[in-house]
Structure 1
Amino acid sequence: MTPTQFKEKTRNFAAEKHLNPQIVQRYYMMEKLLECIVESPYHDDFVLKGGFLIGSKYGLENRSTVDIDTTYRNSKLTKEKLETVFSELTANPTKDGIRFELKGLTETREADYYPGFQAKFIAYLENARVPFKLDITSGDSIIPAALMYEHKLMFEDKTIHIPAYPTEQILAEKLHATFSFGKDNSRMKDFYDLYMIPKLERIDEKNLYKSVQGTFKERNNQSVFKHLYDQEMPQLVKDEGLREKWKRYQQENYFAKDISFESTLTSVDSLMQSIVEQEKAERKQNFKRSQQMNQEMER
């Protein structure tokens, strides 16, 4: 693909989907880096999550992103390891003539839970220059297990296969962020995702409960979900600051313009009620099992 073709294709796609052309150009280059990973010896080490995965599953017109989020597995995550990996991945141009340059690799910590790194890249296609970021964490709880996901490339009749978060784990992390940050939450994309995903995909309630349990435990927040729901949900509903943040998110993202903040809260409420019901059923089952064990011991 020539730079002219690249700009024309991404511009037309952006116009059709009501997106900023720069977002489409960035997304294209990010998927090309993923293609490099998939075709490398490291194809099983990076687990895809976050906005790129959501945009891939449900359409870029329904969820855009500015970076790639991944979890690293199979070996210890270190800066030296990533430098080796990225050096190999960027050693040669792709078959499309794209050259990747690693501009920086800095240590991060995702909301004080998981250590990780942020890699800054620039993708070059002759005179076209597209910067983007790749975030890498480690130690994430993934319940159910990561699955092999098929990502359809934007402008080719080709799919690439990469390990990815199951839907329930995506929702679990977003619910944790929503109820941990509360009124101070600036992640309006989470409210959008918690509204949009259940409308486009059937959610396994039992798997969601297990995912939420694992995520909260991993992040040292083992609250009784009913107590958390009763305490925090009313605060989210009545907070005007969150509504103002949502309005700004709507202005910046075409796909959210017709969705009210109340609608997102209704979806969050529904998901949490499902989790509370699963928790109630589990406690009831555990109590019954305990009674049976006591009766057997008394015999």
Structure 2
Amino acid sequence: MAASVRQRLLYIARADGRPFNEVLQYFAMERFLYRLGESPHGRKFILKGALMLVAWKTPLSRATKDIDLLGRTRNNIADIASAIRSACSQAVAPDGLLFDGKSVNAERIAEDADYHGVRVRFRGALGTARVTMQIDVGFGDPIVPGPVEVNYPTLLDLPAPRLLGYSRESAIAEKFQTMVKLGILNSRLRDFFDIWLLSRQFEFDGQILTDAIRKTFAQRETEIPSNPVAFSKEFSEDQGKISQWRAFVRKNLLHASPKELREVVLDLSLFLGPVVSALVSGKSLQKRWISTGPWIDIG
């Protein structure tokens, strides 16, 4: 079966103009999520990050090699490794993939003093094609208004992964908090793209979004600034940032995204500016964002 699946993935890669290894990696992540969802530990994890852009069926998505999860279990390396090992060996209908539970290796990650999680690596194979899997598990972040049920889209005609996923509001909140924390040093332009994309595709309730941002910033002990550096002229006209944005768009084949950094920064300031103003002033945002904008009054 592995040979048949590989041929179908090759066809998808050629049709989409994507490298085969990128398609294979995505397929492996999708099928691991299926195993995780079917395992006894499935409800202990909530999908987040770039793979949720696919779950939300956005027309654009960027390539990623990792699975990001929020853990609803003890922040314990041994427990996380055991859960991932269990998912690797979960009995499922054949899809050509094998995951090596014996190769599971988990370690503590501490990207900064406020965030501690667990990184898990292990190996998989589709016939002779090898994949390296990486899962980052975080803990403690609030999800507003709450996790959502996800039936994850599949590349091939195979059973869909069923698991819990992040809310769009909390996804935006966490990315915005990272922007604020890193300030002018921020090189994570994928967060700018992700928020821009969500603001172009979905409607948002002002009160829910402000609540999500307030709780995320409180959890991560970050002050909400009245004038975020990420929306400043200093940031959008920085030549290094401009080059990074152009390279990001080109690498990920994001032809429909803003070509210039100043465009995406302007769009984000129009989207999040009123939210920031409401949070700083302590007022509620009685408005609704329609996809592509603007905010409109409700009630």
Shorter-chain TM-score: which interval? 0.7 to 0.9
Change in 2 beyond 3 A, CA 1:60/1:31: farther
Report the Cα distance in structure 2 between the residues aligned to 1:111 and 1:157, rounded to whole angstroms.
39
Report how many aligned residue pairs link the two structures.
281
CA deviations on 1:204-250 (whole Å, 9 max, x unpaired) are 22211111111111111123x4x233796333223222111112212
Change (3 A) 1:280 1:78: closer
Residue 16 of structure 1 and its aligned partner are, at CA, apart by: 2.7
**Alpha-carbon distance, 1:125 to partner:** 2.5
Question: What CA distance in whole angstroms lies between the structure 1 residues aligned with 2:278 and 2:284?
Answer: 10
Q: Determine which of 66, 71, 76 is the counterpart of 2:74.
A: 76
Q: CA deviation at 1:159?
A: 2.8
Q: 2:85 aligns with which of 75, 83, 87?
A: 87
* Larger-Rg structure: 1
Decide whether the 8 Å contact of 2:30 with 2:161 is kept in 1. Answer: no
The aligned counterpart of 1:178 is 179
Is the CA contact (8 Å cut-off) linking 2:183 and 2:229 kept in structure 1? no
CA distance in 2, matches of 1:124, 1:229: 45
Unaligned runs of 5+ residues in structure 1 are 286-299
Change (3 A) 1:45 1:208: same
Provide the residue aligned with 1:253 in structure 2.
252
Seen in structure 2, the aligned counterparts of structure 1 residues 280 and 135 have a Cα distance that, compared at 3 Å, is: closer
Q: Percent identity?
A: 20
State whether residues 3 and 127 of structure 2, in contact with CA within 8 Å, keep that contact through their aligned partners in structure 1.
Answer: no
> 1: CA distance between counterparts of 2:258 and 2:233?
20
Q: Which residue of 1 aligns with 2:134?
A: 133
Structure 2's unaligned 5+ residue stretches are: 286-299
- When the two structures are superposed, what TM-score results if normalisation uses the length of structure 2? 0.85
Q: How far apart in 2 are the matches of 1:240 and 1:125? A: 43
Cα offset, 1:93, TM superposition:
6.2
Q: Name the CA distance, whole Å, in 1 between partners of 2:257 and 2:171.
A: 23
2:142 maps to 1:144: no
Matched with 1:122 is 123
- In 2, distance between residues paired with 1:158 and 1:89? 16
Secondary structure of residue in 1 paired with 2:107: strand
TM-score with structure 1 length normalisation?
Answer: 0.85
Superposed counterparts of 1:11-90, under 5 Å: 11-58=10-57, 62-73=61-72, 75-90=73-88
Contact kept in structure 2, 1:206 and 1:278, CA below 8 Å: no
The answer to whether the 8 Å contact 1:28/1:154 transfers is yes
SS of the aligned residue for 2:151 comes to: strand
- Rounded to whole Å, the distance in 1 between the matches of 2:284 and 2:98 is 58
Equivalent residue number for residue 106 of structure 1: 107
Find the aligned partners of 1:117 and 1:222 in 2 and give their Cα distance: 26
Measured against aligned partners, the alpha-carbon deviations of 1:225-276 in whole angstroms (never above 9, x if no partner) come to 4x23379633322322211111221231102575221221122211221213
Query: How far, CA to CA, are the matches of 1:19 and 1:204 in structure 2?
Result: 36
How many Å separate the matches in 1 of 2:25 and 2:133? Answer: 6
Q: Is the 8 A contact 1:14 1:21 kept in 2?
A: yes
Find out whether 1:160 has 2:164 as its counterpart: no
* Cα shift at 1:181: 1.1
CA distance in 1, matches of 2:176, 2:280: 18
Specify which structure has the higher proportion of helix.
1
Aligned AA for 1:15? R
